[in-house]
Amino acid sequence: MSVERQFRILHLASSERWTGIAEPVVSLACKQQEAGHELWLACVPGQSFERRARQNGLRVLSQFHLDRRLHPLRLFGDLVSIRRFVRENGIEIVHCHLLHDNWLAAEALLGVRRPPLVVRTFHRWERPRSDPLHRWLFGWRNDLTIATSRSLLALFDGRVTLAPGTTRVIYGGVDFERFRPDLSGESVRREFAVPADAPAAGIVARLTHERGHRWLLNAVPEVARRLPEARFFIVGRGPLKRPLRGELASSPLRERVIMTGYRRKDLPETYAALDVALFLGMGSEGTCRAALEAMATGRPVIATRAAALPEIVEDGKTGLLVELDNVGELAEATVRLLGDRAQRERMGRAARQAVLDRFCEHHRAAATLEAYRAIWRQRIGQQ
């Protein structure tokens, strides 16, 4: 019986805060470490990303600056330090998570006799840059390109040529033990004086224009007309916080719409306080993590029929899909689920099962390691 190869892996993530890519990077690194791979993580030192990574038991490097402001001395220092670290520690995989990391790895490893594999995960929902330099970087310097959805990978079409066999779609994964159906949202409802039996829907997302908060507010009057007891949670922080609070203060909706702020400590319980989760815009985060967290908590999701969401939410089974900015369709879908407990509970169970089957941390880590091995075998076969 053959023993699966163990790798020496360096993760590069030029970010400083515990937000965005930080949590999925640390989650992946932890699962790889648990599987017996020797692993190092480099992020911007001295900030919350580094602290949380260390708290999770990872070996975190602090000798790299990873300064995206492109300070010449720091940039040169990182190029020299990364090249030396890779050589002295026998690194076999350099996994890059942001564009700055990708450039550092590509340039630091130029001319190395036996370079490690360079892997790039595209976490963000955005078109790849397609000027000649970036086409060279993405198409020729990366050995493996990972996208978090088929629709994200499709954004490369006509912009960047990726070699056959060097791409993978690996969906996001969430902690199904942290986000689970047996949690109680009673304390969250009590904090905001929401009756235990009131049907509630909510958005958990950064408060920005593209996340659909105003779309929801436009749909609330129709939902409230048909379900007078319904309540709506807006969970998160961001530049729309003050404008939305101002609008609600003088609106007849103010008794129905609750702005909770950012809920880091009791986020799972906040999902549990909802009967239905809403995911109405992609933002820049490409894994639809909030939708997956809600599904893991056993909540059906109403999502826009755009970008990666139809790959995550199965219409009529784990939730409902609606056309972007269609107020009537959003109101109808919300009434349908909030008004039918049996249907939403059935969809919630299916949503939980979808996470267990396809969208958990274990599946993401296993798929990533298998992608490493496939590209490694391909390189060995070429030698």
* pLDDT less than 70: residues of the chain: 1-3, 382-383
pTM of this structure: 0.94
Statement to judge: residues 240 and 159 lie in one domain: no
Q: Using the Cα atoms of residue 122, residue 323, residue 223 and residue 217 in order, give the sign of their dihedral.
A: positive
pLDDT of residue 3: 61
Q: Give me the number of domains the chain comprises.
A: 2
CATH code at position 258: 3.40.50.2000
Statement to judge: residues 18 and 92 lie in one domain: yes
2 domain residue, yes or no: no
**Residue 234 neighbours by CB under 8 Å, 6+ apart:** 202, 203, 207, 213, 216, 244, 257, 258, 259, 260
DSSP 8-state class, residue 205: S
Statement to judge: residues 332 and 301 lie in one domain: yes
Statement to judge: residues 17 and 166 lie in one domain: yes
Statement to judge: residues 66 and 192 lie in one domain: no
Containing 8, the helix (H) or strand (E) segment is: strand 8-13
Alpha helices in 260-340 (DSSP H): 267-272, 289-296, 309-312, 327-338
Range of the domain at 228: 186-358
Statement to judge: residues 204 and 143 lie in one domain: no
Q: Which of 94, 92, 13 is nearest to 53 (CA)?
A: 13
pLDDT of residue 1: 40
Statement to judge: residues 351 and 370 lie in one domain: no
Statement to judge: residues 288 and 367 lie in one domain: no
Statement to judge: residues 275 and 195 lie in one domain: yes
Statement to judge: residues 99 and 214 lie in one domain: no
229 domain residue, yes or no: yes
Mean pLDDT taken over the chain: 95
Statement to judge: residues 134 and 225 lie in one domain: no
Place of tokens 């639809």: 288
Statement to judge: residues 285 and 299 lie in one domain: yes
CA separation, residue 361 to residues 77, 259, 314, 357 (Å): 34, 30, 20, 11
What pLDDT, in 10s, does the model give residues 185-209?
999 999 999 999 999 999 999 999 9
